[in-house]
Amino acid sequence: MASTTQLPAAPEAPVLTHAAPRLNSRRAGRRRPNLPGGLGGWLWLAVIVLPIYYVVITSLKNQAGFFATNPMLPPAEPTLDNYRLVLENDFARYFLNSVVVTLGTVIPALFVSFMAAYAIVRGKGRFVNWTNNLFLLGLAIPLHATIIPIYWMITRAHLYDTLLALILPSIAFAIPVSVLILSNFMRDVPNELFESMRLDGCSDWAMLWRLALPMTKPAVITVGIYNALHVWNGFLFPLILTQSPATRVLPLSLWTFQGEFSVNIPAVLASVVLATLPLLVLYIVARRQLISGLTAGFSK
Amino acid sequence: MTITSSNRRRVRDAGPSGWLAAPALAFFLVFAVVPLAGVVFLSFTSWDGLREIRLEGLASWTTVLTDPVTGNALLVTAKIVFFSFIVQAPISLLLGVFTAGSQKYRAALAVLYFLPLLLSSAAVAIAFKALLDPNFGLGPGLQVPLLIQDWLGNSDLVLFVVVFVIAWQFVPFHTLIYQGGVRQIPTSLYEAAEIDGAGRVRQFLNITLPQLKYTIITSSTLMVVGSLAYFDLIFVLTGGGPGYSTRLLPLHMYLTGFKANDMGAASALGVILIVIGLGLALLLQRLGGKNRNDSQLEGA
């Protein structure tokens, strides 16, 4: 299983008295292949891939093929008819709504969280501490339990069934984790840099954008991606705060689609594939950034 | 409340203005803290979601606390939180350790492991609903009699199906957290253990696990608080059924408020949810010890 091809030198030596430092392969010391790890790894791969495989092949079947053939076999005559049906059913509008809500949430959330993180890391005093503790508390509370007052506020503000109704609370809910990740990163920016900029007469605002931002760019990207994933896939706010097709976002469209086409399972699964496709493209393009960003963001 | 140099000895030590945190704070206050107070207030009222809100005293609380469905929802929630944790924590820990290794094939596996991160809960639920269909899903496809079950219609099985699907969706995220944690463990520890002749299991128990202490706390906190907010997945997958067998607290709150139009009772359920979430989070932090400052405890 775990082939040791990268470590040709080590294998048989009974005692590694003085292993040469291998900086970029940290399991260098391990000699035997990790059999249980490898087996478990492949097993989990099957668990992950099988459902995805099923969804994709089924979405390419026509109704007759779906009922007649073995569900696990790919279709004899793959068809894109299901995709056409989904695309004809206003998929583009739901997609655009999702884009608007996601960008409308992520950009302001990043902006305010970044300023807050800067104030929390560099600032001192009761106000800043208190703010920080409040955000930390927000992490520990299932904020979705506050959905009823949010519903009340949104209806009273006459924002019900608008995209803004989704954006405003989403920004607020994104703040605790964003501030946490950003401030964790910002603590590592050496204080001397700020002090020397201060001596040069820089304002806070200038330091924020010309020093803190470039120094924490990976964290900013991480937070952006994390929030974007959350908002793009969000379901509860759209379910409660919107109603008409004009404000429908993708996850909700999957659900309504399932209701409308309940007998046409291949079409429903085609909508699942279509809704995931944009994120998949993003994942393929930005995988390294996404994974390393998320890893660092939560393990720091 | 500007944090200026007034009571500070050296001017260059002055941090930035605390007001930089104000926009984030304002959003959070309006859409999280005020609703937090609002949900407590609404739990003492009677409101159908449309007409006037009337103060009712403890009526909603009496209803909620005497309703056997509430007790059942608490039990279902406890079961789902417990089993999700038991299933997810070891798998993500082991996968995290496994994927932190550096062989190429592990990197290739990891590309596929993290795919579920991209899918919305609605998409995951719809996919599994189709996959678990007793007539057209996995069971008949693989022709394994044991797998041909009415997975979602059998009230003895459905809870474990839900736990499995939750794991399918969320293990990748926690794997990522552990992967990052493992990569921060100094290689020198393993080299030293290697020299002392410690095997893989001993290394895992004596180095990896203790070094991952704070990662374990972070992941567990996110897991537990996260599972208290599971809504979309179960809402789409089972709708809480069959009967009440998967109607966990957030879903019970939604159905009470927005389907049965009893916002007062739903708010009381929201308060219960918040109290449980906060209690569990504090408990986990306490278990983790106090020798780290707050921010790192929450986010390490």
Digit-coded pLDDT (tens) for B169-202: 999 999 988 988 898 888 888 889 888 888 888 8
Does the CA dihedral A90-A92-A98-A104 come out positive or negative? negative
Q: How confident is the model at residue A33 (pLDDT cuts 50, 70, 90)?
A: low
In degrees to the nearest 10, what's the CA dihedral of B285, B290, B296, B298?
Answer: 10
Q: Given an 8 Å threshold on Cβ–Cβ distance, is B105 in contact with A3? A: yes
* Mean pLDDT over each residue of chain B, to the nearest integer: 85
- Residue B260, pLDDT > 50, answer yes
Q: Among A176-180, A215-219, B14-18, B129-133, which stretch is predicted with the lowest mean pLDDT?
A: B14-18
Residues of A whose CB is below 8 A from B28: 134-135, 138, 172, 175-176
Report d(CA B136, CA A68) in Å as an integer: 9
Residues of B whose CB is below 8 A from A294: 173, 176, 180
Residues 80 through 109 of chain A touching chain B, CB cutoff 8 Å: none
Exposed (0-12), middle (13-18) or buried (19+): which is B24, by Cβ within 10 Å? buried
Do B79 and B86 meet the contact criterion of CB atoms below 8 Å apart? no
What local confidence, expressed as pLDDT, does residue A73 receive?
Answer: 80
Residues of B whose CB is below 8 A from A293: none
Q: Given an 8 Å threshold on Cβ–Cβ distance, is A125 in contact with B218? A: no
List the single residue in A with minimal CA-CA distance to B214. A299
The residues with which B36 forms a beta bridge, in sequence order, are none
What local confidence, expressed as pLDDT, does residue B127 receive?
Answer: 92
- Residue A216, pLDDT > 70, answer yes
A124 in contact with chain B, both atoms CB, cutoff 8 A: yes
List the single residue in A with minimal CA-CA distance to B181. A299
- List the structure tokens of B210: 């203790």
Mean pLDDT of A116-138: 88
Q: Rounded to whole angstroms, what are the CA distances from A51 to B129, B140, B285?
A: 10, 14, 36
Looking at the complex, report in whole angstroms how far the Cα of residue B53 sits from the nearest Cα belonging to chain A: 10
List the single residue in A with minimal CA-CA distance to B270. A145
A116 in contact with chain B, both atoms CB, cutoff 8 A: yes
% of chain A residues with pLDDT over 90: 38
- List the structure tokens of B28: 């959070």
A143 in contact with chain B, both atoms CB, cutoff 8 A: yes
- Residue B132, pLDDT > 70, answer yes
Looking at the complex, report in whole angstroms how far the Cα of residue A7 sits from the nearest Cα belonging to chain B: 10
Q: Among A44-53, A102-111, B135-144, B196-205, which stretch is predicted with the lowest mean pLDDT?
A: B135-144
- pLDDT tens-digit readout, A173-198: 999 999 988 988 888 888 888 888 88
- How many pairs of residues across A and B have Cβ atoms under 8 Å apart? 373
Report d(CA B266, CA A148) in Å as an integer: 8
Q: How confident is the model at residue A26 (pLDDT cuts 50, 70, 90)?
A: very low
Residue B295 is nearest to which of A122, A136, A151, comparing CB atoms?
A: A136
Q: How confident is the model at residue B292 (pLDDT cuts 50, 70, 90)?
A: very low
List the single residue in A with minimal CA-CA distance to B10. A195
What local confidence, expressed as pLDDT, does residue B15 receive?
Answer: 65
Mean pLDDT of B31-52: 91
Residue B200 is nearest to which of A34, A251, A258, comparing CB atoms?
A: A34
Report d(CA A64, CA A50) in Å as an integer: 22
Mean pLDDT of B264-268: 95
What local confidence, expressed as pLDDT, does residue B296 receive?
Answer: 41
- Residue B110, pLDDT > 90, answer no
- Residue A10, pLDDT > 90, answer no
- pLDDT tens-digit readout, A57-95: 999 988 877 877 777 788 888 888 889 998 988 889 999
Q: Which amino acid, B191? A: E
A56 in contact with chain B, both atoms CB, cutoff 8 A: no
List the single residue in B with minimal CA-CA distance to A274. B123
- Residue A14, pLDDT > 70, answer no
- Residue B293, pLDDT > 70, answer no
Cite the DSSP H helix spans in chain B.
Answer: 22-28, 34-42, 59-66, 68-100, 104-113, 121-131, 138-142, 158-183, 187-195, 200-203, 209-211, 213-228, 232-237, 249-254, 263-287, 294-299
What local confidence, expressed as pLDDT, does residue A3 receive?
Answer: 38
Residue B225 is nearest to which of A6, A140, A148, comparing CB atoms?
A: A140
Mean pLDDT of A123-142: 87
Report d(CA A241, CA A231) in Å as an integer: 14
DSSP collapsed to 3 states, chain A: CCCCCCCCCCCCCCCCCCCCCCCCCCCCCCCCCCHHHHHHHHHHHHHHHHHHHHHHHHHCCCHHHHHHCCCCCCCCCCCCHHHHHHHHHHHHHHHHHHHHHHHHHHHHHHHHHHHHHHHHHHCCCHHHHHHHHHHHHHHHCCHHHHHHHHHHHHHHCCCCCCHHHHHHHHHHHHHHHHHHHHHHHHCCCCHHHHHHHHHCCCCHHHHHHHHHHHHCHHHHHHHHHHHHHHHHHCCHHHHHHCCCHHHCCHHHHHHHHHHHCCCCHHHHHHHHHHHHHHHHHHHHHHHHHHHHHHHHHHHC
List the single residue in A with minimal CA-CA distance to B201. A34
Q: Among A24-33, B121-130, B216-225, which stretch is predicted with the lowest mean pLDDT?
A: A24-33
Q: Does residue B214 or residue A148 have the better pLDDT? A: A148
| Interacting residues of A116 by C-beta distance below 8 A, sequence separation 6+ | A131, A135, A175, A179, B20, B21, B23, B24, B25
pTM: 0.85
What local confidence, expressed as pLDDT, does residue B2 receive?
Answer: 44
> What backbone phi and psi angles, to 5 degrees, belong to A159?
-105, 0
What local confidence, expressed as pLDDT, does residue A32 receive?
Answer: 60
What local confidence, expressed as pLDDT, does residue B74 receive?
Answer: 94
The residues with which B45 forms a beta bridge, in sequence order, are B55
Report d(CA B176, CA A298) in Å as an integer: 9
Does the CA dihedral A123-A129-A134-A138 come out positive or negative? positive
| Interacting residues of B159 by C-beta distance below 8 A, sequence separation 6+ | B76, B79, B80, B83, B245, B246
- pLDDT tens-digit readout, A251-260: 999 998 888 8
What local confidence, expressed as pLDDT, does residue A113 receive?
Answer: 95
Mean pLDDT of B271-276: 94
